[in-house]
Amino acid sequence: MKPTTYLPAVAGLALCATGAMAETPVLQVMTYDSFVSEWGPGPAVEAAFEAECACDLQFVGTGDGAALLARLQLEGPRTDADIVLGLDTNLTAAARETGLFAPHGVEADLDLPIAWTDAEFLPFDWGYFAFVGNAGAEAPASLQALADSDTKIVIQDPRSSTPGLGLLMWVKTAYGDEAPALWADLSDNIVTVTSGWSEAYGMFLEGEADAVLSYTTSPAYHLIAEEDDSKVAWAFDEGHYMQVEVAGKVAGTDQPALADQFLAFMVSEGFQSVIPTTNWMYPAVTPAGGLPDGFETLITPDTSLLLSPQDASAMRDAALDEWRTALSQ
Amino acid sequence: MAHSAVPVTARWPDAASAVLVLVLTLGTLGAVAWRAEWDAGLASADWAAIRFTVLQALLSALLSVLLAIPVARALARRRFWGRQLLITLLGAPFLLPVIVAVLGLLAIFGRAGLLNDVLASLGIAPISIFGLHGVVLAHVFFNMPLAVRFILQGWLSIPAERFRLAASLNAPIWRLLEWPMLRAVVPSTFLVIFLLCLTSFAVALTMGGGPRATTVELAIYQAVRFDFDLGRAALLACIQFVLCVLGAALAWRVTGNDPVGTGLDRVVQRWDLARPAVDYCVIVLAAIFLLLPLAMIVLRGLPEVLNMPVMVWAAALRSVFVALGSAALCICMALALALRGGLMVSVVGVMPLAASGLVVGTGAFLLVFPFIRPADVALLVTILVNATLALPFALRSLAPAVAQIKQDYGRLALSLGIAKTSWVRLVILPRIRRPLGFSAGLAAALSMGDLGVIALFAGQSEETLPLAMYRLMGAYRMGSAAGAALLLVALSFALFWICDRWGRTDADM
C-alpha cells in the first residue's frame, strides 16, 4: 500500500511522505486502466519486477490506449512517466512524432506472426481482432459473408475505441478501394456503434446482438475464468487484423537504467507468463510452460493483417471518412 | 442587488461561487485553447454533428416537458398511499450512470428486451430501438423525472390561499393559477433539459445506432482523443456555449412573471378533483416507463452484490465522500448565487450545463499539471467540478424560492432592520428547506455517478465507484460490474432520499 491519502486537505502531507521515500528509486509506468486493475497484469508484474529491481514500480492508469496517447501529448516533455506502456501500432506513428521516445535497445526473440523491427517501441503482447458470437449459431466465414447475412453485430466507434479503429483498418487492409462498398453492405448488420469496448461487449452478453467486435482470445476468458465454452470467435477468410501492444522509453526519463531494466524484464518470463490470463492477449514471447490450457481451443487465423504505423497513420482519416459516409446513409 | 428592497447580504460568497464556475467552464476552455495549435476550422462532419445535436436536444426537451406536465399535475392533485416514495423513486433514472441506464433501457426496449418478447408472443414483428427515436426515448427516460420534479415544485408552490380564493369565486384555476405558474416554470425546465441533451455523448451514440448520431460532444472527444486537435475541441466547446447562451436568452424572454403572491404555507385543498381515473392512469404509465428499467438493473445486480471484490467497497466509500463534499459545496454556492439573483446569476447558473465534460477535464488537467501531480488532487478536483456541474439544478430549484421570499418578505425585513445573518437564518433558510434538501440530494447523487473528471485524474488509489464499475466491465467482469452498478444506484438513491427527506420534515406535504 502506497502512502496516499484520500483527504485533499492533507494532500500536502502525502507529498512530504513521498519525498521521505525518495531513497528507493521510483519507476513510473503510464499505461491504460485495465492493465492496472486488480484483474489486469499490473499487480503481478509489479510484484515480480520489484523483487528484482530494488525500486518502486508505480503504474499510472489513464483510460484506454487512445486516452493514453492524448494524456502523454497533454503532459508533453514535462511528463513524470519513465515508460509508456499500452500503445498499439495505430498510435505509434503519432507517438513517435511527439519526439518524446528514446530507442528501447532490447534484442528479444519475439513470437509474433510478423517481423518486428521498431527501434522505439517494443511489443509486450498481441492479438487478433475478431467477431465473437455464441457457439452453435451460424458463423459467417468472411467479412463479406457477414455483410451479406442477416447476422446482427455491435461494433465500436473508431473515433473513441481501439477495437473500433482496428475494424476500420481491418476492412481497409482487406478490401482497399472496395472498403466503402463493404461498409455499405455491413451497415444493415450493425445494431449500433458504441463508444467503448465495454458497452459493446455488455450489449452482446445481454443478447442485444449475435456477435460483437472483440478479440480471438475473448472466448478464452469465458472458458478459463468462468468455465463457459459458449462463446466462439469467428475465423474469416480475408485474414484477421492484428493489434500489437507496445511500450516505449520516455527520452527525458530520470531513471534511464531502471527503464532499460524494465523493458528487458517486459519480454522475460516474469512479465510474459502473466499476460494470457490477465490481459487475455497472446504474450509477445511465449513463456517456457507454453500458453495456458484453453488457449489451444482458440482459432488461429491463417493470414495476419497489419499495416505499418506509417501506413496506418496515413490511411486513417480517409478510412474514417469512408466509414462515416457509408454508415450515415 | 441594490435596487431590490431586501437586507444586504455579504458579497464575497456569491462572487467566489461565480469565479469558481467561470474558472471551471470558461477557464478550462481557455486552457485548452491556449495549448492548441490553431490551423484548422470545422469540418463538414462537425456541422452535421451540430445539426443533429440541436435537433435531438430540442425533441428530447420538448417531449420530456410535455410528458412531465400531466404527470406533475396528477401528482400534485392526488393523495395516495406511497405517493412520497413514488415521487422520490421517479427521480431515480436521472441519477443513473449512463451505461447502467442504457443497459436497463435495453432490457426493456432492446432486441432481446421485455417489450419485444411481448410483441413476439402476440405475433407482432420486433421493433428496433436504435435511431433518433431511441436517442429521444433515452433522453426522455433520463430527463422527464427532472422535469416532473421541477414542475411539481411549481404546482406545490401555489399558495393554498389562492386556491381557496379561486374556489370561493368559482374562478378558473387553470387560467388564473396553473397557466401562469407553468409560464414561469416550464421555460427554464425546458432549457435545463435542452442543455443536458446538448452535451450528450454516449447515450446519443449508442441509442442512435451509428455515426449519424454524432453529437458535438462526440466530435470534441474525437478532436481530443483521436486527432489531438485541441483547437477544434476548443472551437466546438465554444459552439456549445453559444448554443447555451442563445437558449438561456430565449428561455429568459419567454419566461412569464409568476404573479402568485404570498401565502401562509398551508396545505392545498382542491375541490376540482373529478375524474381521478385519468390522473391515476398517467401516474401508472409514468411509473411503468421509469421504474421497469430500474427494476431490471436491480434484478441483474442483486445476485452479484456479495461477490464483488473488496476494492469496489473502498471505491464506494470514496464516492460517498466525494458526493457529500460536492453536495455541501454545491448548495453553499447555489444559496450565495440565489441570494444575489439577477440575469448574470441565471447565466452563470446554466453555464456548467453547456460545458463539455472532456474539455473541463482536459482544461483542469492542463491548469493543475504544471504545479501538482494530478492524482494527488483527483478527489478535490472531482468535488469542485461536480459541485459546479450540479449547480444549475440546485440554482434552478433554489433561486425561484429565494426570489419569492425576497419579494414577499424583503420590505418587511428591511423595515424591521433585520441583520443580514438573521435574514438568511430566520427568514430564508426555513422557507427553502424543501428545495435545499432536494438540491443537496441531487448534487450528491449526481456526483456519485460522475465519471467525467475522475477518469482523467485518478490513479489506482483514487478510484471512485463509477470508475471501478467501468474498470470491471473493461476486464470482462460484467457480472461484478452489474453488482457495482446496483450498489451505485442504491447509494445514489439513498443519499438523495436522505437529503430530500430532510427537506420535507416539518413540511405539510
Please work out, in degrees rounded to the nearest 5, the angle formed at the alpha carbon of residue B395 by the alpha carbons of B390 and B398: 130
- In a mutagenesis test of the A interface, which of B476, B478, B480 is the best target, namely the one with the most A β-carbons within 10 Å? B476
| Alpha-carbon span B100 to B486, nearest angstrom | 9
Q: Which residues of chain A have pLDDT under 70?
A: 1-22, 329
> What pLDDT sits at residue A256?
93
Segment holding B433, helix H or strand E: helix B433-449
Residue B243 distance to chain A (closest CA, Å): 24
* Interface contacts (A, B; CB < 8 Å): 165
Residue of A nearest to B310 (CA): A38
Residue B269 distance to chain A (closest CA, Å): 49
Confidence of residue B438 (pLDDT cuts 50, 70, 90): confident
| Alpha-carbon span A175 to A147, nearest angstrom | 13
Q: Do A327 and B211 touch (CB under 8 A)?
A: yes
Residues 6+ apart with CB under 8 A from B328: B440
Residues 6+ apart with CB under 8 A from A110: A116, A123, A267, A284, A285
> What pLDDT sits at residue B271?
61
Residue of B nearest to A201 (CA): B476
pLDDT tens-place string over residues A36-83: 888 889 999 999 999 999 899 999 887 777 778 888 888 888 888 999
Q: Do A202 and B99 touch (CB under 8 A)?
A: yes
A residues 46-75 lying closer than 8 A (beta carbon) to B? 59-64, 66-67, 69-71, 73-75
| Alpha-carbon span B456 to B367, nearest angstrom | 13
pLDDT tens-place string over residues B241-292: 888 788 877 877 776 655 455 554 455 666 666 678 888 888 999 888 888 8
Between A328 and B117, the more confident residue is B117
| Alpha-carbon span B434 to B440, nearest angstrom | 10
Q: Is the pLDDT of residue B2 over 70?
A: no
Q: Is the pLDDT of residue B478 over 60?
A: yes
Lowest-confidence region among A151-155, B200-204, B392-396: B200-204
Of B432, B445, B444, the C-alpha closest to B396 is: B432
Q: Is the pLDDT of residue B507 over 60?
A: no
Residue A31 distance to chain B (closest CA, Å): 10
B residues 287-316 lying closer than 8 A (beta carbon) to A? 309, 311
* Residue spans of beta strands (DSSP E) within A41-189: 56-61, 83-88, 101-102, 121-134, 153-156
Look at phi and psi of residue B200 and say left if phi exceeds 0, alpha if psi is from -120 to 50, else beta. beta
Average pLDDT over residues B404-414: 79
Assess A38–B contact: CB distance below 8 Å, yes or no: yes
Residue of B nearest to A158 (CA): B226
Of A123, A48, A130, A166, the C-alpha closest to A286 is: A123
Considering only the beta carbons, identify the residue of A62, A194, A209 that sits closest to B206: A194
| CATH H-level, domain B1-35+308-509: superfamily | MetI-like (1.10.3720.10)
Residue A107 distance to chain B (closest CA, Å): 31
Work out the burial of residue A113: count CB atoms within 10 Å of its CB; fewer than 13 is exposed, 13-18 middle, 19 or more buried. middle
Residue B169 distance to chain A (closest CA, Å): 58
Between A133 and B95, the more confident residue is A133
Residues 6+ apart with CB under 8 A from A174: A143, A238, A239, A241, A305
Q: Do B202 and A195 touch (CB under 8 A)?
A: yes
Q: Is the pLDDT of residue B117 over 70?
A: yes
**A191 contacts in B (CB within 8 Å)?**
111, 128, 130, 209
> What pLDDT sits at residue B217?
85
- In a mutagenesis test of the A interface, which of B98, B205, B462 is the best target, namely the one with the most A β-carbons within 10 Å? B205
Alpha helix ranges (H) inside A206-303: 218-226, 256-266, 269-272, 275-278
Considering only the beta carbons, identify the residue of A33, A40, A208 that sits closest to B111: A208
**ipTM over 0.90 threshold:** no
Q: Do B461 and A208 touch (CB under 8 A)?
A: no
Assess B180–A contact: CB distance below 8 Å, yes or no: no
Secondary structure (3-state) at A247: strand
> What pLDDT sits at residue A296?
93
**B458 contacts in A (CB within 8 Å)?**
61
Residues 6+ apart with CB under 8 A from A259: A27, A82, A83, A249, A250, A253
Assess A230–B contact: CB distance below 8 Å, yes or no: no
Domains and CATH numbers, chain A: 8-126+244-295 (3.40.190.10), 127-242+299-327 (3.40.190.10)
> What pLDDT sits at residue A209?
93
B residues 187-216 lying closer than 8 A (beta carbon) to A? 201-202, 205-212, 214
A residues 176-205 lying closer than 8 A (beta carbon) to B? 187, 190-199, 201-203, 205
Between B391 and B421, the more confident residue is B391
> What pLDDT sits at residue B327?
93
Look at phi and psi of residue A200 and say left if phi exceeds 0, alpha if psi is from -120 to 50, else beta. alpha
Residue A85 distance to chain B (closest CA, Å): 15
Q: Do A6 and B379 touch (CB under 8 A)?
A: yes
Lowest-confidence region among A135-144, B185-194, B372-381: B372-381
- β-pairing verdict for A121-134 and A211-215: antiparallel
pLDDT tens-place string over residues B48-88: 888 999 999 999 999 999 999 999 988 888 888 888 888 88
Residue B31 distance to chain A (closest CA, Å): 11
Confidence of residue B353 (pLDDT cuts 50, 70, 90): confident
- Which string of DSSP letters, residue by residue, matches B406-431? HHHHHHHHHHTT--HHHIIIIIIHHH
Between B481 and B504, the more confident residue is B481
**What single-letter amino acid sits at B265?**
D
Assess A2–B contact: CB distance below 8 Å, yes or no: yes
| Residue B355 in grid coordinates | 460545458
B residues 457-486 lying closer than 8 A (beta carbon) to A? 458-462, 470-478, 481
Extents of the domains making up chain B: 1-35+308-509
Nearest-Å Rg of the Cα atoms of chain A is 20
Bridge partner list, A129: A215
Confidence of residue B153 (pLDDT cuts 50, 70, 90): confident
> What pLDDT sits at residue B174?
74
Q: Do A206 and B103 touch (CB under 8 A)?
A: yes
Lowest-confidence region among B37-41, B128-132, B212-216: B37-41
**What single-letter amino acid sits at A32?**
Y
Q: Do A208 and B112 touch (CB under 8 A)?
A: yes
Q: Do B103 and A33 touch (CB under 8 A)?
A: no
**B462 contacts in A (CB within 8 Å)?**
4, 6
> Residue written as cell 423525472?
B145
The phi and psi torsions of B4 (rounded to 5 degrees) equal -100, 150
Q: Do B210 and A40 touch (CB under 8 A)?
A: no
Assess A4–B contact: CB distance below 8 Å, yes or no: yes
**B383 contacts in A (CB within 8 Å)?**
8
Alpha helix ranges (H) inside A124-217: 143-148, 162-175, 179-186, 197-205
